[in-house]
Amino acid sequence: MKTIKGPALFLAQFAADEAPFNSWDSITAWAADCGYRGVQVPSWDARLIDLKLAASSKDYCDEITGKAAENGVEVTELSTHLQGQLVAVHPAYDAAFDGFADPSVRGNPKARQAWAVDQVKQAITASRHMGIRAHATFSGALAWPYVYPWPQRPAGLIETAFDELAARWRPLLDHADENGVDICYEIHPGEDLHDGVSFEMFLDRVAGHARCKMLYDPSHYVLQAMDYLDNIDIYHDRIGMFHVKDAELNPTGRQGVYGGYQPWIDRAGRFRSLGDGQVDFGAVFSKLTQYDFDGWAVVEWECAMKHPEDGAREGARFVSDHIIRVTERAFDDFADGGADEAANRAMLGL
């Protein structure tokens, strides 16, 4: 067994224009002061990283990782959640997602997709430069508007959508393989890869690609009323990354999983700071440890109530308390009487 690394913090929800969240130097020092040992980096945020330069210059990547180490943290992974979303966008979401893209390609879905693909490729290359073996992203979605089949979906619609999604991602998976990096798709409502079944549909279409992995986040399974522990039993060999995020689902006679268009604070299902929701993290950490997950436990803070800085500091302690330092010996070794093959055969009467 292996000990999970951590705690680490996803910086996307904290980067801002005010100190200490507005520069790589100051935000990594702040994260270390909160108790973190690693940081997951949103590659789209120019306040923290120049992605194009990171893809072309190992020296620059060494500066990034060196400054982090100087401040007491390690770069755990790079993220292209926003760019990955743009690899596949249904036209219904063109306007909503256009803001994720560079201004030069907004209003041009074809150019925007090409830009997004290049961004993911750059992040994978930069990951290799930093010695990182896993990359976080979203799959994007072509079929999501049809997730609830009314009117009835025409035959073949979902199959065509997944065929196209796989065709767009296969070259990126191959690029990842060339660079020794796993692509870890966050399994997330709003993405075509939103549960185990949809992940399997995609995995089949990329021929079980060895670099196709999951980013496991139990909060998204709580909000779908899924068994998040059974999910680990089923997919542990495909889980390449772990977001530690809490959530609660409290359905009523008025609303359930879909939330009735309410704001987060009023939804039956909502994200919470660590320890304030319903996820049994003792069981989650136990199962991941049982299956030799050797990645990072990365806090992704999202909560409709608590201040983010409080959530961050509490999250570091929470993860530290849940990481299981694996034993190097069996608990009953004290009762080992010693044996050899002859003794074993004698005990069996052979």
Query: What CATH number does the domain containing 340 carry?
Result: 3.20.20.150
Residues 6+ apart with CB under 8 A from 247: 218, 219, 220, 222, 223, 269, 270, 271, 272, 277, 278, 279
Q: What is the pLDDT of residue 340?
A: 84
Rounded-to-integer distance, Cα 25 and Cα 138, Å = 27
The identity of residue 204, as a single letter, is: D
User: pLDDT (tens digit, 9 = 90+) per residue, 35-55?
Assistant: 999 999 999 999 999 999 999
Q: Is the dihedral of CA 158, 159, 160, 162 positive or negative?
A: positive
- pTM of the model as a whole: 0.95
User: Would you say residue 181 has pLDDT above 90?
Assistant: yes
Across the range 164-179, mean pLDDT stands at 98
Residue 339: band (very low, low, confident or very high) from pLDDT cuts 50, 70, 90: confident
Distinct helix (H) and strand (E) counts, the chain: 13, 10
User: Would you say residue 231 has pLDDT above 80?
Assistant: yes
Rounded-to-integer distance, Cα 150 and Cα 148, Å = 6
CA distances from 98 to 90, 91, 151 (A): 12, 11, 28
User: Would you say residue 329 has pLDDT above 80?
Assistant: no
Specify whether the CB–CB gap between 232 and 285 falls below 8 A. Answer: no
Across the range 285-292, mean pLDDT stands at 98
Which parts of 94-217 fold into alpha helices (H)? 94-98, 109-129, 157-178, 196-205
Across the range 150-163, mean pLDDT stands at 97
Residue 335: band (very low, low, confident or very high) from pLDDT cuts 50, 70, 90: low
Q: By residue range, what is the domain housing residue 158? A: 5-347
Q: Specify the number of domains making up the chain.
A: 1
The identity of residue 323, as a single letter, is: I
- What mean pLDDT is reported for the chain? 96
User: Would you say residue 277 has pLDDT above 80?
Assistant: yes
Across the range 252-263, mean pLDDT stands at 97
The gap from C-alpha 240 to its chain's centroid, in whole angstroms, comes to 8
Per 3-state DSSP, the chain is made up of helix, strand and coil in percentages (nearest 5) of: 45, 15, 40
Rounded-to-integer distance, Cα 127 and Cα 142, Å = 27
The H or E element that residue 83 is part of is: helix 81-85
